[in-house]
């Protein structure tokens, strides 16, 4: 279970509906008294935002024409608590873009990631970041074929 905490419009159908189900799983676990410490420590949950995140996901689901018939349980509001560890949204962007080609396309479309010019993997800050693949190969940066005057070297 996890809260991606990404804009819902950049999630494919599978991940949008999956995170929605997981909001109910978190709520159900909290109502049963299950500890959320591991999820929080691993940056997978932001407890005070559980209802708000559910509602954001539902709004996107309805915008896409999906039926929603599972309101968030009211009992969960009394169980929400604040904590310091929050999900790492930048990491979640890269993680989701690496896992799912459909989400990657939506993330690129929204300008949240740029495909690496070497291997196509997603980058958040292409001017600063090198692709994981590029860093692990010990390759030199590719030599430019053109100079500033656009003439072949």
According to the model, what pLDDT value does residue 139 have? 40
According to the model, what pLDDT value does residue 71 have? 93
Q: Using CA atoms, how far apart are residues 18 and 71, in angstroms rounded to an integer?
A: 15
Backbone torsions φ then ψ of 86, nearest 5 degrees? -120, 155
**Least confident interval from 8-22, 83-97, 129-143:** 129-143
Task: Clarify whether residues 67 and 129 are in a common domain.
Answer: no
Task: Clarify whether residues 49 and 84 are in a common domain.
Answer: yes
Give a yes or no: residue 96 inside a domain.
no
Beta bridge partners of 146: 152
3-state helix, strand, coil in the chain (%, to 5): 50, 5, 45
pLDDT class of 127 with cuts at 50, 70, 90:
low
- What is the average pLDDT score of the chain? 83
Q: Using CA atoms, how far apart are residues 74 and 65, in angstroms rounded to an integer?
A: 25
Range of the structural domain that residue 144 is part of: 115-153
Give a yes or no: residue 103 inside a domain.
no
The contacts of residue 94 (CB under 8 Å, 6+ apart) are: 113, 122, 123, 124
| The token pair that represents 104 in the structure block | 């990657």
pLDDT digit string (tens) for 44-80? 999 999 999 999 999 999 999 999 999 998 888 888 8
Residue 92: pLDDT over 50: yes
Task: Clarify whether residues 53 and 127 are in a common domain.
Answer: no
| The token pair that represents 82 in the structure block | 């604040």
């Amino acid at each position: 279970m996890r809260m991606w905490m990404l804009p819902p419009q950049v999630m494919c159908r599978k991940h949008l509906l999956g995170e929605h189900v997981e909001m109910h799983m978190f709520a159900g676990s909290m109502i049963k008294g299950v500890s959320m410490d591991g999820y929080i420590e691993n940056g997978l949950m932001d407890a005070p935002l559980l209802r708000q995140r559910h509602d954001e996901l539902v709004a996107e689901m309805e915008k896409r024409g999906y039926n929603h018939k599972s309101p968030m349980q009211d009992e969960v509001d009394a169980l929400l608590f604040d904590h310091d560890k929050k999900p790492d949204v930048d990491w979640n962007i890269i993680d989701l873009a690496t896992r799912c080609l459909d989400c990657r396309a939506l993330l690129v479309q929204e300008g949240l990631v740029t495909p690496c010019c070497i291997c196509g993997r997603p980058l958040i800050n292409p001017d600063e970041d090198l692709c994981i693949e590029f860093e692990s190969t010990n390759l030199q940066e590719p030599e430019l074929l053109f100079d500033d005057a656009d003439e072949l070297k």
